Amino acid sequence: MILSIQNVTKRYDKHTAVDNVTFDVPKGSVFGLLGPNGAGKTSLIRMITTITGPDEGEIRLDGEKLNDRTPEQIGYMPEERGLYKKMKVGEHLMYLAQLKGLSEKNARKEINTWFEKFEITDWWNKKVEELSKGMQQKIQFITTVVHKPKLLILDEPFSGLDPINTTLIKDEIRALNEAGISIIFSTHRMEQVEEMCEHIVLINRGKNVLFGEVNTIKNEFKQNLYRIETPDALPADFGEKFQVIPASNGYITVQLEHENQSGDLLRYLVQQNIHVTRFQEILPTFNEIFIRRVEETQN
């Protein structure tokens, strides 16, 4: 485990922002930290990054209790991010890299590597305010990863990025992950979760309401729905044998009582000489799971 969160609680005044949350982030994984606005994600991240401390519970990074050296092992890109506008890009990166514990020499080397990777070697002496928003985001990303953290925490990393830069950063995230860096991805954009994450935790009202592997969760939430596509008309008794869900898109959706029955359904169709062009299990999207789970816990 790269990160282990055990019974962590954080209170502000009378409000409990994080309420007895427990979960683990496996080493080398891309982990989704999900939740609606105000669920307690940022409070949780601030505790992981040692900006604040938990009132109760314990957080361990790579088996070690959080300590003064923790910030150097974490790269954090907050949702609310910014840079010193009047500083030169190179100086700015040097400053933040050195604050993360890199020596001056190492910092310069690492920054130059990233400059080459992003093809921005002539940016060193530009002022931050001279850059476009997208360009600033690139710099922001470099500040997050320049010190080679063990754990990368990205809070809505793609907000404000155009599709080209989104792809660029996505590729870099994948590359970093392949290089062994664990990544926590905080977002409420569910299509990104399905695309990038292997594990997730869903937080609502400060509580952990869902935790596990993405595929396992999808299977847990599936309702044994199957989609059939065929140019033929279905036999007259089909509706008696199977429960058909009315669908507007012209496909036939069948709800089975148990997933073992999928074979029976397919066999029946074959026996009836129906020309099946497509037969597929419908898994819930994360969006649906997210909304269902949030609504369930709200009530």
Residues interacting with another protein, by CB under 8 A? Answer: 12-13, 46, 49-51, 71, 74, 76-78, 80-87, 95-96, 98-100, 104, 140, 143
Q: Which is nearer to another protein, 82 or 246 (CB)?
A: 82
Q: How far is the CB of 142 from another protein (least distance, A)?
A: 12
Q: Is the Cβ of residue 32 or residue 149 nearer to another protein in the bound state? A: 149
CB of 78 to another protein, least distance (A): 4
Q: How far is the CB of 107 from another protein (least distance, A)?
A: 11
- Of 49 and 165, nearer to another protein (C-beta) is 49
Q: Note whether 226 and 256 are within 8 A (CB).
A: yes
CB of 19 within 8 A of CB of 28?
Answer: no
Instruction: Give the separation between CA 242 and CA 273, rounded to whole angstroms.
Output: 17
- Indicate the residue among 74 and 210 with the shorter CB distance to another protein: 74
Q: Whose Cβ is closer to another protein: residue 80's or residue 257's?
A: 80
Residue 109 Cβ vs another protein, minimum distance, rounded to whole Å? 17
Q: How far is CA 103 from CA 94, 107, 110, 145, 167, in A?
A: 9, 6, 10, 15, 31
How far is 116 from 175, CA to CA, in rounded Å?
16
Q: Which is nearer to another protein, 87 or 244 (CB)?
A: 87
**CA 92 – CA 146 distance, rounded (Å):** 12
List, in sequence order, every residue forming a beta bridge with 74; answer none if it has no partner: 151
Q: Is 198 helix (H, G, I), strand (E, B) or coil?
A: coil
* Residue 95: DSSP 8-state: H
- Least distance to another protein, CB of residue 162, Å: 20
Q: Which residues contact 156 (CB under 8 A, 6 or more apart)?
A: 79, 186, 187, 188, 189
Distance of closest approach, residue 96 Cβ to another protein, in angstroms? 7
